[in-house]
Amino acid sequence: MSTPISKDDKNVGDIEQGNEGSNKHHRRRSSSSLRFPSSVTDRASSVHDTAIINSLRQSVAADCQQIDEAQDAQTLTPGDSLLQQTIENACHSAFGIIGVDVWVFDEIDSSFYHAAYHRHHMYAPKNTSAKYALAQIEDTSLINHVPPTRQVPGCGLAGYFWSICSSNDRSNTWRELRAITSDPDQPVDVRTQLLEASGYGKACGIVFDIRGYRGIVIYFARLSADYNQLSEVTNEIHLRVSADLIGAVSCSSITSAASANVKKMRNARTLARIRAKMLALAAFASLGNKGKGLQTNYEHTYIEDDEEDKPKRFSLSRRISSIYASRTYRERQFPIIRESYRARLLQDCIDCVHRKVFKLVEKSKGGQMQPPPPMPWTQTIWVFVGVFTTMSILSAASGALKDATNEQYGIILAPLGALVTLQYSLTAAPASQPRNAIYGQVVSLAIALIVNLVIPTSSWARVPVTTALAISTMYKLAVIHPPAGASSAIFSLNDHTVVDFAFILVGSVIAILIAIPLNNLNDKRQYPMYYAFIRDRWSAKLSRAIRICFPCSKNKVIEMHEDISTRSARSFERSRR
């Protein structure tokens, strides 16, 4: 005797003796218990399953909140323990890495939430202030413990590296933490300051993207660590692969927890259906044992109408089973598409626009950061003296040049006014450094001179094309300099020559030479933070090429080192005597 099948069984598609079409239907509806939006469940799987993973993460977080925290407050789930083990392996097997910090990007509000943190067991700060700063980060029992808070792009270490790195980078970007914390362009982040105070000197951020589940892994090194050894090819590849593995394990912990929840709900629903079927079987069996059988009014369902003395028993479950089987067979042979391709595509576009608008509104509300405090009067007076001195010298030089050339040539002071603003107000900013000031002006003015030869002065497109090309090229070459963008716009307005180009470069060099002593006379200032006109890799290759091409220079260097070593040995012996 076949069992009756309810309407809920047909909707779920969990039939014990179903055909291939019903199995496909069951796989398609298995995730409906999480109550995802229709735009998520109806969308076909793609490489970037961002919406699905976000929904899974929200469902797992909601389930975790319902669990009593007092039961397993100190225990780790299998996913968390595997993630911690992966981070430890990445930290211990890499060169120079003493700490790892993992942040995950929330696609809903465009912020980062902290996922994991690990410190190498061999690293322990020596001085008391560094130990106390490290305890404020790691020890949750302290009163003044600083927990990791959500960060927005451009704020904090996660937001800072997120804005300058991407998942397609072929090289790792290392920065000193003191350069980030002392940068006036960066918002104040207490945790970053504590990381610097606890002995973490350098940091490197690597972005991971696992099927739309995005985040960033931050590696920490000592301040004395060598850049060349940290940027060695094997170490760089290991850090990037480990970042992808950490992201994959973090994503897998979410999907595995969501899959376990779905499995529990499916098993509970299956047990409830089995119980209902067994109760129905028991009810039908009791009815059959009491009388002559199940009395019905459906005379046309009898097998033989002429046998009135012994009517055949009517099987309700068999009739429903045959109807359901024929219906599923027709649906498998002739599938009925409820929504056309255009309708689904339109719905996906509408959902995408809704997400973009919602994200735009959330980001437009601000990052909830406090503005920087006002500067003291002593620093303000110092800025005034520096700017006044530099602009006086540049203005006098421009006037003397105009007098010598009969007003034909002069130094354009507008970009240099922006330059001294950076040099004395934003001393630690990358745009203020000599490398950006020189290279940015060279790139922008060269592009302006080339565009002036192609586009006439009367064209309205001359200024936007020149400015856009100049700024994008500086951004690509990592020599962003705002005064250089202003110089490109000024050069595109009029037909300036190479002589004006040279005078602006001379004015920039003069401003740099004046700003170096004026800033460094103040104990609160440091200028420049770096020169780096030639990067370390290129300088090493250049010195190696010079030694190969000119072996005599190599011998002279060796002799010089030998002389220095002998002199130091003699002075040491004299001191002992």
Task: Supply the pLDDT for residue 39.
Answer: 38
User: Could you tell me which residues come within 8 angstroms of residue 41 by beta carbon, excluding any fewer than 6 positions away?
Assistant: 31, 32
| Main-chain dihedrals φ then ψ at residue 304, nearest 5 degrees | -130, 120
Report whether 413 contacts 511 (CB < 8 A): no
Phi, psi (degrees; rounded to nearest 5) at 105: -85, 125
pLDDT surpassing 80 at residue 75: no
| Distances 407 to 400, 403, 411, 510 between C-alpha atoms, Å | 10, 6, 11, 21
What does the pLDDT look like over 334-391, one tens digit per residue? 444 555 666 777 888 888 888 888 888 888 887 666 677 787 888 889 999 999 999 9
pLDDT of residue 369: 64
| pLDDT > 60? residue 475 | yes
Answer whether 112's CB lies under 8 Å from 218's CB.
no
Residue pair 156/163 in contact (Cβ under 8 Å)? The answer is no
- Identify the helix (H) or strand (E) that includes residue 476: helix 462-477
Strand partners, 201: none
**Residue 100: what pLDDT?**
94
Predicted local confidence at residue 81, as pLDDT = 83
| Calculated CA dihedral for residues 502, 506, 509, 515, nearest 10 degrees | -140
Cα distance between residue 228 and residue 322, in whole Å: 75
Note the pLDDT tens digit of each residue in 212-232: 888 999 999 998 888 888 988
Q: Quote the percentage of the chain above a pLDDT of 70.
A: 69
pLDDT in tens, 277-314: 888 888 777 765 554 444 444 444 444 444 445 454 54
The answer to whether the pTM exceeds 0.85 is no
Which range is most confident: 66-70, 411-415, 468-472, 474-478? Answer: 468-472
Model confidence over 240-263: pLDDT tens digits? Answer: 999 999 999 988 888 888 888 888
d(CA 257, CA 78): 9
Nearest to 60 by CA among 258, 265, 256: 258
| Contacts made by residues 489-495, CB under 8 angstroms, sequence distance 24+ | 489/463, 490/412, 490/414, 490/415, 491/445, 491/448, 491/449, 491/452, 491/466, 492/448, 492/451, 492/452, 492/462, 492/463, 492/465, 492/466, 492/467, 493/463, 494/457, 495/452, 495/457
569, pLDDT greater than 80: no
Structure-token pair, residue 245: 């593995």
- Quick check: helix, strand or coil at residue 223? coil
Dihedral angle, C-alpha 314, 315, 321, 323, nearest 10 °: 0
Q: How far apart are CA 484 and CA 269, in angstroms?
A: 67
Q: Residue 98's pLDDT is what?
A: 93
Angle at 104 between CA 101 and CA 110, to 5 degrees: 130
pLDDT at 50: 61
CA distances from 63 to 174, 261, 299 (A): 39, 9, 53
> For 407-438, how does the pLDDT look when each residue is reduced to its tens digit (9 = 90+)?
888 888 889 999 999 989 888 888 888 999 99
In this model, does residue 268 exceed pLDDT 50? yes
What is the DSSP annotation of 144-208? T--PPPPB-TTSHHHHHHHHH--TT-SS--EEEHHHHHT-TTSPP-HHHHHHHHTT--EEEEEEE
pLDDT bucket at 52, cuts 50 / 70 / 90: low
Q: Dihedrals φ, ψ of 165, to 5°?
A: -120, 165
